[in-house]
Amino acid sequence: MKPKTRRLYVVLLALLALGTAAALVLNAFEDNLVFFYSPTDLKAKNVPPGQAIRIGGLVEEGSLVKDGLNSHFKITDGAQTVAVAYTGNLPDLFREGQGIVTFGRLDAGGTFQAEEVLAKHDENYMPPEVADALKAAGQWMPERK
């Protein structure tokens, strides 16, 4: 075998080994790489009250109650719903039906006491007129997350 052919095989084999190792590691660390849990994950994992976590989902339509800086709303992933309480300014993009990610802890009563609320924007970009037209025509795709 010529040296350069041998080097080619060495590099290819090393890359294959590296790729496999990376895939295994990423698979093993799956849970730690997740930035937030959905309300369904939250129920399934039985997260104890007081543990700091992030949850993400859509703000349920009609659930937002604002009283000055205090706001209460529910976030949902379609299957499960979590009640959230937050004190502070909500981000510009926050609205009902919007995807959000919030950091905080569950209290004893099962309400999520949020310390931080971030708006997640979707991958659709369009002018307001187009969005309105899509909504009017009933072609609006609900956000996925």
Partner 1 sequence: MHRFANPARFLRLSRAIQPWILAVTVPCLLAGLYLGLVESPIDYQQKDTVRIMYVHVPAAWMAMFGYSSLAIASAIGLIWKHPLADLAGKAAAPIGAGFTIIALATGSLWGKPTWGTWWVWDARLTSVVVLLFLYLGYMALWNAFEQPQRAARAASILALVGIVNLPIIKFSVDWWNTLHQPASISRIGTPAIDPAMLRPLLLMGVAYLGLFLLLLLLRMRVELAERRVMALQLARSRDGEPS
Unique residue bearing structure tokens 């369009």: 126
Closest distance of CB 109 from partner 1, Å: 26
Closest distance of CB 37 from partner 1, Å: 7
User: How far is Cα 102 from Cα 85, in angstroms, rounded to an integer?
Assistant: 10
Closest distance of CB 99 from partner 1, Å: 9
User: How far is Cα 62 from Cα 75, in angstroms, rounded to an integer?
Assistant: 11
Residue nearer to partner 1 on the CB measure, 30 or 108: 30
- How many C-beta atoms surround the C-beta of residue 59 within 10 A? 23
Which neighbouring-strand residues pair with 41? none
Interface positions with partner 1 (CB under 8 A): 4, 7-8, 11, 14-15, 18-19, 22, 26, 30, 33-38, 56, 90-94, 98, 101, 116-132, 141, 145
Residue nearer to partner 1 on the CB measure, 67 or 92: 92
